[in-house]
Amino acid sequence: MKYRKLGELDLEVSALGFGAMRLPVIDDNSANIDQEEAVEMIRYGIDNGINYVDTAWPYHQGESEKVVGRALKDGYRDKVYLATKLPVWKCETEADLDKYFEQQLEKLQVEKIDFYLLHALNTERWQIVKDLNIIEWGEKKKKEGKISYLGFSFHDNHEVFNEILDAHDWDFCQIQYNYLDTEYQAGQAGLKKAYDQKTAVIIMEPIRGGWLAQEPPQAAKALFESENKDRSPVEWALHWVWSQKEPGVVLSGMSNLQQLKENLQTASESEIGLLSQSEFEMMEKAAEEMRGPITCTRCEYCLPCPEGVNIPRNFYLYNKAKLLDTGEEMKEKYLKMDKTARASNCVECGQCEPQCPQNLEIIELLKEVEKYFEDAV
């Protein structure tokens, strides 16, 4: 494992961090984590050098923190930096801050959190942070020894990111960043601004919810092979981030042991400056061939849908159909889904849209998916 300096903090983190948002599940139900396999994976990662584990209140519909807590028993807690996040959107009073924090300590079976984030900040949630004096609360928790480092994760536009970053002397921040999203949300400009201000940066979605792990369209594939025929799509995506000096730990949500082993191997080969300028330029061109019509990362914050619609699955099939010209194949997969899970089962209740960190107009997009897959049925 390679290790990287995390901003100005006096510690080193593994290049690869374990993101506990996409753990293995049973019966395709994100709330039903395969606990034995998940614990085995997390411990295998730690045994092989990972020292940063990231979870959050809503991951796996509230079950992720419990499984991470179980995995960190038997001495594993002392081997890692543990990160989790305050569900800001659920907080209505200052009393809620302690309520959720104490529940998280209980779920994780720990007495302190190393890296505590104000989760998925955007304009609306930033106002909640200010109204409830959450930063002051977080700094108090640091003084009490309950939190080591205070930061935030972010999903909004670059201007909002600048405002939040400049509002406090944060220990760290966490942003979505990959070779498709250089101008999206905080983007490359936000990454460099945080780095220049000596705020440590954690990277999430380096593989864009698995989108950058799949076989690329032919035009993109030809570009990749023009530089290196041996690198896999995942290796290209991860090395693109690790080759830059600004990122600290790069989080990956891995769903099986094979993915973990492959990412560990890639991390062991990582270094700043590994990719050449021509390779960066090639990937900028490849990115234009890789963009699907819907910027869903399959984070599942929108779930559970009260009607049972599997929103991320619908968007994933639609993106693959449009980008890879596999309409008939994806239509077959769509129609094999239970009817309650299909886009056509949406009743437009709107519960999902405020939860989406990508700010997608989910209701209208589901109508597009329904039209595409069901009009000719």
The pLDDT tens digits for 260-273 are: 999 999 999 999 99
Q: What is the largest CA-CA distance in the chain?
A: 62
pLDDT at 180: 94
Summarize pLDDT for 213-262 with one digit per residue, the tens.
Answer: 998 999 999 999 999 999 999 999 999 999 999 999 999 999 999 999 99
pTM of the model: 0.89
Closest-CA residue to 332 (of 340, 321, 323, 341) = 321
Q: 3-290 adopts what CATH topology?
A: TIM Barrel (3.20.20)
Summarize pLDDT for 135-173 with one digit per residue, the tens.
Answer: 999 999 999 999 999 999 999 999 999 999 999 999 999
The DSSP call for residue 121 is E
pLDDT at 377: 53
pLDDT at 298: 87
Q: Which residues of the chain have a pLDDT value below 70?
A: 376-377
pLDDT at 134: 98
Spatial CB neighbours of 144, under 8 Å, sequence gap ≥ 6: none
Give the integer Cα–Cα distance in Å for 199 and 103: 28
pLDDT at 376: 60
